[in-house]
Amino acid sequence: MNRTHKIIAGCLVALATSVLLAHAHPFGDAGLAAPRQQGTILQHADVPAAVRTTLETKCADCHSMQPRPPLYARIAPVSWLVERDIVEGRKAMNLSQWDSYSADKQEELKAKILSETKLHKMPLPQYRFIHWSSTVTAPEIDAIASWARGSTASPDISTAGQPLMAADAVRGKLAFEKRCTGCHSLDENREGPHLRGVYGRASGSVPNFGYSAALRQARITWDDKTLEHWLAGPDEFVPGVDMDFHVAKPQERVDIVRFLKESAGK
């Protein structure tokens, strides 16, 4: 064999090995070799067509049972990385199983879809690098925002006509766990800042948390009244903030505020 033949033979062996190795799934099997499943994402959900298209074209590859893997995704080690993203992506949010999520979970995911796209954390950078048209555009983000905020719109700050029970920290803790822990924890910064001691604290003051400029400059002291307004609609209270989530039920808001107050030792 001359040199060129050796190189070609070497390449063929490497390719064959890679294709074989792609049958191994060190980071989980995303089922890419199986025929593409039929079905739609967000099954029966009431989603505006524009939002559905964005999610289908820019997110479904990792967040549904209908990925469209490119050819090179069949070759190890790329296949392993692609599979890892898909397996992890589906775990975080599977748009093919939307109907099976509780209403609360759907609300939380919608808020996260909005914040992940607004902050350009999603699609993942490695995906945008290859699918360069997959960056979510400003009009798309607007459409997602009105979808995500619309469903439980018109924050009811007035509490008009709704007889409230006395605020209760135990109920508040349950509501906190259900609604807030997707993004917050009491003691660690996650997508949102840590919340132990937030009651009585100045807004935007956790030193190592990356706040929006709007909240950093807001100069609010968190108390019953300001937290109530915040939870009813952060963006109405302080325009331009990064928390895309609100609590529609007045009772839940007062309970959560009481819980935050107690966990601050106040």
Binding residues vs ligand HEC (CB under 6 A): 58-59, 61-63, 85, 88-89, 92-93, 108-109, 111-113, 115-117, 122-124, 127, 136, 179-180, 182-184, 191-193, 195, 198, 203-206, 211-212, 214-215, 222, 227, 230-231, 241-245, 247, 256
List, in order, residues 6 or more apart from 244 with CB less than 8 Å away. Answer: 111, 114, 115, 118, 145, 148, 149, 234, 235
Q: For residues 41 and 180, which CB has a smaller minimum distance to ligand HEC in the complex? A: 180
Q: How far is the CB of 242 from ligand HEC (least distance, A)?
A: 4
Q: What is the dihedral of CA 23, 29, 34, 36, to 10 degrees?
A: -140
Q: How far is the CB of 44 from ligand HEC (least distance, A)?
A: 19
Q: For residues 149 and 179, which CB has a smaller minimum distance to ligand HEC in the complex? A: 179
Q: Assess contact for 227 and 211: CB atoms under 8 A.
A: no
HSE-CB of 112 using CA atoms within 13 angstroms: 18
Q: Which amino acid is at 188?
A: E
Number of H-type helices and E-type strands within the chain:
12, 0
- Which residues partner with 221 through β-bridges? 202
Q: For residues 76 and 215, which CB has a smaller minimum distance to ligand HEC in the complex? A: 215
Task: Give the Cα separation of 101 and 113 in Å (integer).
Answer: 15
Q: For residues 21 and 173, which CB has a smaller minimum distance to ligand HEC in the complex? A: 173
**φ, ψ at 69 (rounded to 5°):** -70, 135
Q: How far is the CB of 23 from ligand HEC (least distance, A)?
A: 21
Q: How far is the CB of 13 from ligand HEC (least distance, A)?
A: 30
Q: Assess contact for 150 and 243: CB atoms under 8 A.
A: no
The residue length of the chain stands at: 266
Q: For residues 11 and 202, which CB has a smaller minimum distance to ligand HEC in the complex? A: 202
Q: How far is the CB of 110 from ligand HEC (least distance, A)?
A: 9
Q: For residues 22 and 63, which CB has a smaller minimum distance to ligand HEC in the complex? A: 63
Task: Give the Cα separation of 205 and 221 in Å (integer).
Answer: 10
Q: How far is the CB of 12 from ligand HEC (least distance, A)?
A: 30
